[in-house]
Chains A and B, each alone.
Chain A
Amino acid sequence: MEKRVEERTIELTNSQKALLNLLEDLNEKSNQLQQSTEKLEAKNKELETFTYSVSHDLKAPLRGIDGYSRLLEEMYSNKLQGEGLEFIKTIREGTKQMNQLIEDLLAYSRLERSIYRTSSFNIKELIESIVKLLNNEISGTKAIVNINVENCEIDTDFDGLSIVIRNLLENALKFSGKVESPQINILLEEKVNSWFLTFQDNGIGFDMKYHDRIFEIFQRLNLPEQFTGTGIGLAMVNKSVERMNGKIWAESSPGNGANFYLEIPKNKIS
């Protein structure tokens, strides 16, 4: 009997030791994981600050290029041949595009660095205010924008959703701007656990084989002379939706307009 007790005690002590070792291992792994997470966060922060810093530093020489080409045009246009003036125009067009690219990059980096905050607000009012903001672009393309959205409060990131709506609208305006009588419909549907927003346009559409690419940063499907753009707008939409834990996707075919779907989860009141 005594011998069995002794054996059992040894067994227990051994398994206890094994457990302790395991615990130590786990602790070590957890510490390592914590350290890697911290390193990753630091690297992320560094990268975000880098984008911000570089974007600002890029603006100074750009101001020089634009300024002096403008002065050249102003003060020496009589000495330049027709082609010379064309070159200046191209230089200034280039600086304009570069400036837009920097502005968009800054907006993207600002979005990455911004604090995610949810609040309750009226979505119809938000959509209407954004449509009003884009009034010039809308009347410029003679587009008709139908807002089929009920007055209702939703709970999500206000700034993030504003970015999404604005960019989806601008996207729809851009790609339907050249068709005859462009039309954009915005619809809202309430589901049990989410809000479902649809943006329909009758624009040029796109081939579904690119449906994933359109949300990637710098990705464009058209030549710059057909449609201007930096390929950052829909990437910002994607980033914002990701932060809201939502979903975004699009359906289209060339020449048949595009539908963009946005699903925003309802925030559970805890």
Chain B
Amino acid sequence: MITQNKNLPILLIEDNPVDIDLTLRAFKKQNLTNPIEIARDGEEAINLIGKWKEGKLIPVVILLDLKLPKFNGLEVLKEIKTHPVFKTIPVVVLTSSAEDSDVNTAYELGANSYIVKPVEFDKFIEVAAQIELYWTVLNISSIPKT
């Protein structure tokens, strides 16, 4: 399971190019072996569900921003978590917002974790390291079979 996790992609759903670049750099610092896939808006993220059905590799974890163009992060979360097959993919909400209403709604919709993106880059690197360690090494996911 552990070796399998290492080859599966991490899906980053994020619109901001700066945040994408910094996240990639933060993961690179940890010598992350998992490939990282990126969806730039809610629509692109939701369209991935169809591609997974067609046999595209399913991510080991999804890192989801809440503020996204077209469909927002909570809508994407709902789409994934109400899907009969793909609802078991772990979704980690990674956002600037620490508002109770966002946290509560995300968990109600089935988020597996909720992490606030720190502004300081040094802290952001720590967060990336912990996400990687937990979701790709420690955690054993139930990866849907297609």
Contacts and interface: CB of A to CB of B under 8 A. Distances in A.
A binds B: yes
A63 B99 contact: no
A162 interface: no
Contacts of A106: 98
A67 B18 contact: yes
Interface string B97-126: 111000000000000000001111110100
A64 B117 CA distance: 12
B124 A52 contact: no
Contacts of B19: 60, 63-64
A56 interface: yes
A66 B121 contact: yes
Contacts, number: 44
Contacts of A95: 119-120
A110 B122 contact: no
A94 to B, nearest CB: 12
B142 interface: no
- Top 9 A-B pairs, shortest CB-CB distance: A64-B18, A67-B121, A70-B121, A59-B96, A67-B22, A99-B119, A56-B96, A63-B119, A66-B121
A62 interface: yes
Nearest to A53: B67
B124 A63 contact: yes
B67 A56 contact: yes
A135 B118 CA distance: 24
Taking each of B19, B98, B121, B122, which has the highest tally of chain A beta carbons within 10 Å of its own beta carbon? B121
Contacts of B18: 60-61, 63-64, 67
Interface in A36-61: 52, 56-57, 59-61
B29 to A, nearest CB: 10
A243 interface: no
B146 interface: no
Contacts of B117: 59, 63
Q: How large is the interface on A (under 10, 10 to 19, 20 to 34, 35 or more residues)?
A: 10 to 19
Contacts of B67: 56-57
Interface string A61-76: 1111011001100000
B120 A99 contact: yes
B16 interface: yes
Interface of B: 16, 18-19, 22, 25, 67, 96-99, 117-122, 124
Given A63-B19, A67-B124, A56 B97 contact: yes
B97 A63 contact: no
A71 B19 CA distance: 14
A63 B118 CA distance: 8
A96 interface: yes
A71 B28 CA distance: 13
Given A60-B16, A63-B118, A66-B120, 5 more contacts: A56-B67, A63-B124, A71-B121, A96-B120, A106-B98
A66 B99 CA distance: 23
Nearest to A63: B119
12 contacts: A56-B96, A59-B96, A60-B16, A60-B19, A63-B19, A66-B119, A66-B120, A67-B25, A67-B121, A67-B124, A95-B120, A99-B120
A162 to B, nearest CB: 16
A64 B16 CA distance: 10
A71 B120 CA distance: 12
A99 B99 CA distance: 16
Nearest to B120: A66
Nearest to A62: B119
Contacts of A99: 119-120
Contacts of B99: 52, 110
A64 B21 CA distance: 9
Contacts of B121: 63, 66-67, 70-71
